Amino acid sequence: MHAVTSADHAPNRPLLDEIERYYDAVPRSAARAEDFGPLTLFVREGTGWPYYARPTLGHDGPAATAEDVRRVLERQRELGAPEAFEWVAEQNPELRAAVEAAGLTVHEHPLLVLGPQDEPAPTPALPQRVEVRVLAPDAPELAAAVAVPHVAFGAPGTAVGEDGAVESARTAARLTAEGAVARVAERIAEGTTVQAAALDGGAVLCAGQYNPVGAVGEVVGVGTLPSARRRGLGLAVTAALVAHARSEGIRTVFLSASDEDVARIYRRAGFRPFATALIAEPASPRS
């Protein structure tokens, strides 16, 4: 598979730049930035998402080399952090050769966008008894909403599976004990994360977030319990997040999909293919 923005047109440079500024800004609320010249390593502080290295915003010197990548990898190993790099193919096309020369494997993911001129699709109808809500930081469903995507991503794809309430409860207990749920609650209170969930009664079946920075927001972590798939819940949660973002003045909403099958779901919400998100890591985690 080759990285492309669209079959029909060149990348929108102002929008690429806007998203690149977002990618640089969003980790800074929960991580410190370490300077490696053409690369910046974001290091998590406290509990939360384990961050990665990215191209340095506004770097006007030589492009990153394999040796630059190796220096960052050595630091990640020293810290016990994931050996991971993330970037947009169309923004930094030269980085792929450097990370591959350093021995990492690159994975491609469709990047989709709802820009200022794009209209979201109409809100889909929900199954009977299901409602989608944006959760407050003290919502009793928050722990389950944080847990459900973890269960979902443990069984990738869109096929219906067996994992459901038992796995969600077990994962919620673990994430609560680790402090991850409290951190999400803190971010909701700060306004740096918006969490939505599809509920049947008190049971969370699907959940996801968006993280706003200025007038840009990224939808992340939308996942449905395998036992509740194929009911349109991921689409409904995504639509709710987009509606909330637009109501808050977010003019550009974007996301990356795991593969083309998932990207088709997001296209039904009004997102359009825009670019290619790249993740580089050692081959073993996905081998």
Rounded mean pLDDT of the chain?
A: 92
**In 3D, which of 41, 55, 40 has the Cα closest to residue 98?**
55
pLDDT interval class at 11 (50, 70, 90)? low
Average pLDDT over residues 232-239: 94
- Taken in order of first residue, the domains within the chain and their CATH numbers are 13-111+279-286 (3.40.630.30), 130-270 (3.40.630.30)
| One-letter amino acid of 152 | A
Does 265 have pLDDT greater than 50? yes
pLDDT given at position 59: 95
Annotate 131-146 with DSSP letters as a single string: EEEEPPTT-TTHHHHH
- Helix, strand, coil shares of the chain, percent, nearest 5, are 35, 25, 35
Model confidence over 34-80: pLDDT tens digits?
999 999 999 988 766 789 999 999 999 999 999 999 999 999 999 99
Contacts of 166 (CB under 8 A, 6+ apart): none
pLDDT given at position 90: 96
User: What CA–CA distances, in Å, run from 113 to 48, 60, 250?
Assistant: 25, 27, 12
Q: Return the bridge partners of 50, or none.
A: none
Model confidence over 266-280: pLDDT tens digits?
999 999 999 999 999
pLDDT interval class at 158 (50, 70, 90)? confident
Handedness of CA 183, 149, 1, 285 (dihedral sign): positive
pLDDT interval class at 160 (50, 70, 90)? confident
Find which of 28-32, 134-138, 150-154 is predicted with most confidence, using mean pLDDT.
134-138
Contacts of 63 (CB under 8 A, 6+ apart): 38, 92, 94, 95, 98
pLDDT given at position 96: 98
